[in-house]
Structure 1
Amino acid sequence: MSDSLVGVGVVACVAVTLLVVVLALVGARGQRRRRERMRVWGERNGWTYSHRPGVDWGRHLPGGNRNGVEDLFTAVIDGRRVNVGEYSVTDAATENVQNTHFWVVSAAALGRPLPAARLEPRGAGSRIKQKMLGPGATATGHPEFDRRFRIETDMPAVVGRWFSAPLILAQLNGQAPPSWSVYGTELLCHRPGRLDLNEISAHAASVVALAYALETGSD
């Protein structure tokens, strides 16, 4: 009887191991097909596709994952380098359950270094554990905007120049990225969700328009 039970246990272990291997192979094959679709889409639409690019954005994004950008598209738009990709962070396992959070990330190269700054919707700070600049919260004087958004910068004087009526209206109406930050010559934006190929152009247009507004407002 005991020998039979041992035999059944061995067979069950082998079956589980084989199932895990098969699922891993199927998952890997699906990922390869997905990356190939992305590469082909990029070639057809004027974007260069990269898998796990060497960009150091994670420390500025929710979760602080330095290697979280899996898929990235790069193009030059109006003479400006623009990137649109997907970023993810997986929480530590709790009761054997892991949660993965996704963001769409878009970045634009700025024509010159600008003061460091970050804008976030009110209430989003608890989801970003690290501080970018430390103390330095400031306001625009627009009640509705200041109620909904928080600005941090190491140079408060830029707030009055950057946040003109058009940019404030664009933020309030959802036409500008909801969360963005400036680091030298790089503008970095993120919003929750998965990357949709059909929305890449819209993400690019949004970050390019914001980059232009910030550069113009800093003159």
Structure 2
Amino acid sequence: MSSSRLIEPVFVDRFWGVNPSRVQKYEARIGNDGYVVELTNNTCGCRSWKVSGIPCVHAMTTISYLNKNAEDYVAPWFHTAMFLTCYNHTISPLNGSSMWPEAPYMKPLPPQKRRLPRRPTLKRKKDQSERDNKGKTKHTISKVGAVNRCAICKERGHNRSICPTRPEDVASTSRPKNKNGKVEPVQVYPVDDPAPHVEPVQVDDPVNDDPAPHV
């Protein structure tokens, strides 16, 4: 095990004190806090040594007090010999799938496609980093330094609303804005068209065109 994971005794000796109780049993104390350390069982009152297998700050204080090597009190599963035993077993070779025996069971089928409720989502799923930065950055191109081009005279530096060559009968495409800079809605008023004027037409009566019979 690398000694970098162990606490340096220099940092614990200046703050912690050790009170021996009996053989292999001590009390590590700092101020009003005290922890019982047993070197025979590799246990401490904080239980950190028992859980991690690495001596805690209280155990390191006791080991440094006795001038012993801290690596001797590390759990055996951190040792190099224990690490090498994990790779002692060999992996047996295996024939190809064409030589495997046929199973008498039915082959598993893929699950049926089920239509989920509601409209399907077309947007891609964003990463957590993209969701965290929502609202902080804008993915729009800045228009700073852009030069406008007029749609009428095709010249740069102005638009069609202030074009000097714009005819008077050509209306601007921009809608009027109020004091807050918002576009005002266009109001459409009904137009009362006058009734069409019809000239009176005189129609001759076909009955009166025939002469009256002579009596």
Higher helix share: 1
Task: Return the TM-score normalized by structure 2.
Answer: 0.17
Greater RCO structure (CA 8 Å; 6+ sep):
1
Higher strand share: 1
Larger radius of gyration: 2
